[in-house]
Amino acid sequence: GPFFVDIGLEELEADERRRCLMVDTPNSFFYGTDQYLPPRLLQHRMLTALGWDVRRVRWDDWAALGMDAERKKPFLQELLQGARPEAEELA
């Protein structure tokens, strides 16, 4: 298909959805805003419609963690353990 995932996880969710992580770079947003550009928004929506549980990692959140793996691991665990897929919250 025309869409890719940055990191796809092998295990299935209880509802048989596959989980993936998408890294949202500064190029994912309109300049100076938190509003997604239409192609990125479409990518999230299409992957969700295809059965993916899309979790977003904002570049600035990741960069704020620095090179400290001890801070990055709990960040990713919390993101993946969230009850609601992030892509469903996109407006």
pTM reported for the whole predicted model = 0.75
Confidence of residue 83 (pLDDT cuts 50, 70, 90): low
Residues 6+ apart with CB under 8 A from 27: 37
CB distance 37 to 44 below 8 Å: no
pLDDT over 90 percentage in the chain: 40
Look at residue 11 in the predicted model and tell me its pLDDT.
82
Look at residue 89 in the predicted model and tell me its pLDDT.
55
Write out pLDDT tens, residues 40-63. 999 999 998 888 899 999 989 999
Distance CA 60, CA 82 (A): 20
